[in-house]
Structure 1
Amino acid sequence: MESIDDNRVVEAKRRKEKNLLAELQQLDIKAENLEILFIAIKEAKILEVYVKRKTQKQFRWFKSYLFSTFSGVLGPKKQEGDKQIPEGFYQITHLNPKSKYHLSLGINYPNPYDQANGFTGSAIFIHGGMESVGCIAIGDDAIEEIYVLTDIAQQNDQNEISVLIYPYAMHTEKHKLMLKTTDEATAHFWDRLATSYQYFQENKAPLSYEFKGNQIEY
């Protein structure tokens, strides 16, 4: 017997899958060749989706979704209960059909960098609904598309789906201005993120990185 949660996913696929596959086909991308990447920009309250074929190096913009609400301020998440949306480089850990907020995608916060810096917290998701206490909320209709698209990518062997979360659009001049608004530690962290952001804007591909202790190295 199907559960309510199973039906929720079935209905999302019924509503979204055919159109998503058709939109991908217009970009000459078939399901079996799909790779996706997410970029969130907190200040703009936007989640961007990029897609490409597995054989391609460059991603192309596919869709953007507005946050349905926002919690916290600009700056990284540091501790449980601070209501901050994380910033940095993350991966989708799992699809959650039993979310309190319709459907959701788990994010691996705290990542190794966060852990090395003593940051705490848990249960960070991209989810539906109109509430947030540190998650990226995009509403029920949008999360259905994101959920189904992620499921398609995972079913076709994309084992690592990146979620790059930036505090603001980190173009050079904007970044210089924003560094004046924060503390030294956050400014150093934002400098590392800006390198990644600017590289993606120029190359439409993520910059390779490593977490080494409490640092991000490219």
Structure 2
Amino acid sequence: MANASEIADLIALGMKPPAGTQDVSEHVGIVKTWDPLSGVNTVEVNGTTLSNLSSLQNGMGNAFFPGDVVAIRRVQTKYYILGRIAAPNGLTGSQPQSLTEDGGTISGSQNVWKDLDAGPGVSPRITVRIGNAALIRFGIGTLATNNSEIDCTIAWSGASTTNPDDNFTGFYFTSGSNNNQNGGPTMIQSPSKDMMVYRNTGIRELPGGGYEFFVPGVYTFFLKYQWRAYNNGNGAQVINPWLTVIPF
């Protein structure tokens, strides 16, 4: 069994910055800077700032951000970023999710963002964690029928909260109108839209100027709708609305 002095020596050795030309060692680093285009970077390891570490490629382009905690491997004098370390409730995003629900009718007040007539339970709701990258891809879509026009957009609750009456950078789709005269055939459409939201994408215009941005945290995303009648339309049918959220 090691004595107190030997244990202290081991602890001191583990606290030293990376060094040596023959051995292999594992470390934990903190990203200080990262250029998203070139990958030029600085990473702090045991109090030492290392420049331009190579990183393990996992298919998609690597994207690290200041404050990310990463695993570092040193092989002789070369240093490699193995990947981001994901602590429970930490700064990494959760898995992508996609959900389709039955949908239903929308009627009553026109040009007002709201749930479908049967309530939020017939429309998709997805809860995810947005990581330090604050980078998300959304996709929405539905089948729209009846002699009317339907708008569909994303709303959310969580670390940054907004509603569709605020400006989410114009992220919504509108089904085309059916201008047939009374008694004309019902129009069936399948509109959809997708969008990538970056760290610097304004998601809501603030009353005093400027924009709100997504911040790391847990969010629940869901859909809201509004409709407008054309000719003999007195409501609309939203069939199988779907929502996809991919946090990075």
Query: Greater helix percent: which structure?
Result: 1
Q: Tell me the TM-score normalized by structure 2.
A: 0.19
- Larger-Rg structure: 2
